[in-house]
Chain A
Amino acid sequence: MDPTLLSLLDSIPQKSPRSKLETHRELIRQLRRKGCTYRDIVRILRERIGLHVAVSTIHSFVKVRAKHRKQVQYELPPLAPESNSSRVNPDDVAARIATLKAKPTEQKAKPKHFHFDESEPLKLVDQGGSR
């Protein structure tokens, strides 16, 4: 490349990734290869990496990169056997599990506004009894 252009390139600082998922791109690709759903990936990122994302964000991320791969005829790499060096330390995993267990569960159950007992027959009000 022309030295002038090279110096121009050097003068432009590297921008940070547009998506917080960018640093986990390879992990996401491999998880998709293993048949994980978007929801599975969301759960894995949350539980294993502490990254909170919406399913739709994963969807968009995967779709955009799939489009890009198609354009540049990029092929997915074959699944590599897990190497010893990339294995997670079991102590770390145990510690993370212990932390997760210690975390109080969110009380998401909302009070019901309507209750219907399926085992109970419909009661007609103006006839004063069941059918």
Chain B
Amino acid sequence: MNTEAKNKRVVFTMGGKGGVGKTGLMVALAEWFEENEIPFTLLDLDTENKARGSLEHFFNGSVAKVNIHTPAGLDTFIDHLESGAAIILADLGAGSGQVASDWFDAMYEDVSATGARFTAVGVVTPDPASVESVLAWANRLQERAQYLIVQNATNPQADFSYWDSAEQAIRFREALSPIVIRMEFRLAELENPARQHGVRLGQVAQGRMQSTN
């Protein structure tokens, strides 16, 4: 067993429903690690993501693209896992359910044997499709990952009935004990231009923006 990969944690977004805020959450997580001076490696497994919405847009030059659609993508992932920081933040693409699931199945056994652990991050919104997407992923992953579920308030009075009260979601919480946190509503007037210019909300809050194009 290689000791370098011990104590590593791969935090990855569960793919599926698009536009729920997965990349935004990853950006916020990365900002948190950065602020607390905890080294991390950013991997963009969302090779189909457009430049403006991708992690690369927010962290120019410090995000490695890994194409999990190719067999060599597994090698690249393992390379990063062994040589990178203890925390790996990996952003999966929306709609990449089956491909990403196959990728996880292919690498899980070997990677977990090195001592690395996985945290699957799911984002739910008031839209029931986002809940279904997370549950479908959990159905594939089972206990191979720990779960962090983020309730993303996409409007000021966000109603999470489907997450809170759907029978299937309750069973998921009982069986796999996810940690659940809430992401408060952000003003679209602020978030959208920031996204457009690749500026993180933390930078806006601290006035650390540079005028670019």
Contacts and interface: CB of A to CB of B under 8 A. Distances in A.
Interface of A: 37-40, 42, 54-57, 59-60, 63, 110, 112-116, 118, 120, 122-127, 131
B170 A125 contact: yes
Contacts, number: 98
A123 B78 contact: no
Contact of B139 (A39, A59, A115, A127): A115
Q: Identify the interface centre among A60, A113, A114: most chain B CB within 10 Å of its CB.
A: A114
Interface stretch (B85-93, B158-166, B187-195, B199-207): B158-166
Contacts of A116: 135-136, 138-139, 168, 171-172
Question: What 8 A-B pairs have minimum CB-CB distances, sorted nearest first?
Answer: A55-B110, A122-B166, A114-B175, A116-B139, A56-B2, A123-B167, A116-B135, A113-B175
B162 to A, nearest CB: 5
Size class of the B contact interface (CB-based, 8 Å): 35 or more
B128 A54 contact: no
A38 B113 contact: no
Given A56-B82, A57-B2, A122-B128, A39 B110 contact: yes
Interface string B1-25: 1101100000000000000000000
Contacts of B72: 37
A96 B120 CA distance: 40
Contacts of A40: 71
A122 B127 CA distance: 11
Contacts of A126: 165
A124 B143 contact: no
Interface SS of B by simple majority: helix
A114 B139 CA distance: 6
B82 A60 contact: yes
B115 to A, nearest CB: 10
B148 to A, nearest CB: 16
Nearest to B141: A114
Contacts of A114: 138-139, 142, 171-172, 175-176
B132 to A, nearest CB: 6
B114 interface: yes
Contacts of A63: 79, 82
A59 B74 CA distance: 11
Contact of A113 (B2, B111, B143): B143
8 contacts: A38-B75, A40-B71, A42-B110, A56-B110, A59-B82, A63-B79, A110-B142, A124-B162
A37 B139 contact: no
Contact of A124 (B79, B166, B171): B166
A131 B142 contact: no
B121 interface: no
A57 to B, nearest CB: 6
